[in-house]
Every structure is written in C-alpha cells, then in structure tokens.
C-alpha cells in the first residue's frame, strides 16, 4: 500500500524482533534498508538475507548506538554510499527490569546510554542529510510503559518516556525542514525481550489487553511503515499507540 522506492532507511537494532520486522516492512515497500546491530552479526545477516529473498535490498551495519562517534561514522558512510538517508527508525533498546531499591548506577547508565542517548545520537547524525533533501522521517520506538509506568521498570519506563519528549521537541525543531518526527509506543510484543516472561506474567498482560492477546512485531512494523510514508506527511510530534487497547 505504501511506496518507498528510492528511499534509504536505517533501522537500529534491525537484526531481531521489532527492528527486524520494521526492516522487512520498509524494504517490502521498496526502501533500501541499513540493518544495524550491536553484536548479533549473524542475526543481522539473516535479516538481510530474508529481505533479499523477498526481492528487497538491504545491508547490515554493526555499530553501538550508545557511542556518538560510531553513529556519526555510520551515518556518514550511508550518505557517502547512497547519497541520502531518508528514514531513521530508532528501535535499538534494552530493558533491565528491577525494583527501584535494587537498581544499580551501571544499569541506569547502560539503559539511558542505549535507549535515550542512542536515539539522540542517531537523530543528530540523520537530521542534516534529511534537511538537505527537505524530506525526512524519524520514528522512535517508545513503549506503553513510558506512558503508564510499570512496577519493576522504573528505569526502562523513564527512558521510554524520555523518547516522547525527544520526539515532540524534534518535531517542532525540524518541521519547517520537511522532517517529521513521531513515536510508536508498542504494548507487549512477542520478541526475545519479552520471551523471558513467565506464563503468569504473560497471562496478566493478556488480561489487561482488550484485544485479549500479546502483539506481533509485524503489527508494530505496519505503524512504522505508515509513519515513514508520504501519506503520513501531515503527522508529526505524535505517539502512535499500538497496544491492543492496553492503554487507551
Ligand atoms: P530485542 O531484544 O528482541 O532486540 C533488540 C535489538 O536492539 C537487537 O537487534 C539488538 O542488537 C539491538 N541493540 C541493543 N542494544 C544496541 C546498541 N547499543 N546498539 C545497536 N543495537 C542495539 O528487542 P525488541 O524487538 O523486543 O524491542 C525493540 C524495541 O522496542 C526496543 O526499543 C524496546 O524497548 C521496544 N519495545 C519492545 C516491546 C516488546 O514487548 N518487545 C514493547 C515496547 C517497546 P544485538 O542483538 O546485536 O545486541
């Protein structure tokens, strides 16, 4: 339905889970997709192979979103090779779940370095090439818990709420340059991140979800694809909630 021919996209944490589904959806619509990973080279290669098998175009690129210079170098390399970067999906994220009283400083730093600073460094590097073309799409993957909070996820929730502030501010800063900035806030989605939840917790989540099930990565990717499209050109600074009705 949405057409992204000639667009170049970067999906951080595109090797697995939601990021992989986003990479596949964008490539399926015709974009060339750079699939970022931090350590999972084989998983990223699998994502690229799946995209190519479906007739799309992609390449894997390893870098740590938490390290500003690595991000800047990666974006420069993409622009040098392709002449543009039109779409950034800041999806890379980690979750270290812990009651506040047990949280260690290192866990706070690591979570914020990846989830928040990572998105900041990526947006900072991507904005210039987008402004040059007077067209760009930045999509942050936040979370339902960034809006509702969740016991045991104080640090993670704070990092995901921060992405909403970042989204709204960048939307205001770069609207006049043709760059839209939005967030997608998923509910509970079946991936490695949630795979560790026991059956009781999982059932409790389903019980709180009007649609009566957990979500799939492709259901987040559909929202990302829409926000990346030209059809979403009048949407900026928004949080699109894809959560089965868990938070209305
Ligand atoms: P996964 O744990 O399945 O995948 C995480 C991805 O992020 C991997 O590709 C991983 O690459 C990459 N990554 C992690 N740290 C870095 C880093 N420093 N630099 C580059 N890449 C990195 O996560 P999900 O697919 O479940 O989640 C994706 C996003 O969606 C996250 O931001 C998460 O917070 C958010 N989200 C997820 C929900 C869910 O229910 N699953 C709900 C709401 C939000 P590698 O393997 O190489 O480390």
pLDDT digits (tens, 9 = 90+) for 98-107: 999 999 999 9
Write down the pTM of the prediction: 0.98
Ligand 1: which of 10, 14, 17 to mutate, judged by most atoms within 8 Å of the beta carbon?
Answer: 17
Pick the catalytic residue from 156, 174, 188, 226: 156
- Atom nearest to 114 CA in ligand 1: 18
For the Cβ of 94 lying below 6 angstroms from any atom of ligand 1, the answer is yes
Average pLDDT on 218-228 reads 98
Instruction: Give the pair of three-digit tokens for residue 208.
Output: 């709180």
Instruction: Give the pair of three-digit tokens for residue 12.
Output: 């951080």
In this predicted structure, the answer to whether residue 197 has a pLDDT above a threshold of 90 is: no
Average pLDDT on 181-196 reads 94
Tens digit of each residue's pLDDT (9 = 90 or more) over 127-152: 999 999 999 999 999 999 999 999 99
The residues that bridge with 61 in the sheet, in sequence order, are 36
- Give the Cα separation of 171 and 158 in Å (integer): 20
Tens digit of each residue's pLDDT (9 = 90 or more) over 7-25: 999 999 999 999 999 999 9
Determine which of 70-84, 187-201, 224-238 has the lowest per-residue pLDDT on average. 187-201
CA of 176 to the centre of ligand 1 (A): 31
pLDDT band at 198 (very low <50, low <70, confident <90, very high): confident
Strand 179-186 vs strand 57-62: parallel, antiparallel, or unpaired?
Answer: unpaired
Instruction: Give the pair of three-digit tokens for residue 78.
Output: 């993409």
- Residue 6 three-state SS: coil
For the Cβ of 18 lying below 6 angstroms from any atom of ligand 1, the answer is yes
For the Cβ of 17 lying below 6 angstroms from any atom of ligand 1, the answer is yes
Query: Minimal CA–CA distance to 93: which of 21, 143, 51?
Result: 143
Our answer to whether residue 156 is catalytic in this structure is yes
For the Cβ of 16 lying below 6 angstroms from any atom of ligand 1, the answer is yes
In this predicted structure, the answer to whether residue 63 has a pLDDT above a threshold of 90 is: yes
pLDDT of 162: 99
């Amino acid at each position: 339905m949405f057409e992204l021919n000639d667009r170049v996209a970067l999906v951080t944490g595109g090797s697995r889970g939601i990021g992989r589904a986003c990479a596949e959806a964008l490539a399926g619509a015709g974009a060339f997709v750079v699939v970022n990973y931090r350590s999972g080279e084989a998983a990223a290669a699998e994502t690229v192979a799946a995209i190519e098998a479906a007739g799309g175009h992609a390449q894997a690129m390893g870098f740590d979103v938490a390290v500003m210079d690595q991000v800047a170098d990666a974006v420069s390399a993409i622009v040098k090779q392709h002449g543009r970067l039109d779409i950034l999906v800041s999806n890379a994220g980690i979750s270290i779940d812990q009651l506040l009283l047990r949280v260690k400083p290192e866990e706070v730093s690591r979570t914020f370095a990846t989830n928040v600073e990572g998105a900041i460094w990526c947006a900072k590097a991507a904005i210039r090439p987008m402004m040059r073309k007077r067209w760009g799409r930045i999509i942050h993957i936040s979370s339902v818990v960034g809006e509702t909070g969740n016991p045991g996820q104080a640090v993670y929730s704070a990092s995901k709420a921060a992405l909403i502030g970042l989204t709204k501010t960048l939307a205001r800063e770069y609207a006049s340059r043709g760059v839209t900035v939005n967030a997608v806030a998923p509910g509970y989605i079946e991936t490695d991140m949630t795979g560790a939840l026991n059956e009781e917790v999982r059932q409790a989540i389903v019980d709180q979800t009007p649609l009566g099930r957990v979500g799939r990565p492709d259901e987040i990717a559909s929202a990302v694809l829409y926000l990346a499209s030209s059809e979403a050109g009048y949407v900026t600074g928004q949080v699109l909630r894809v959560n089965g009705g868990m938070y209305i």
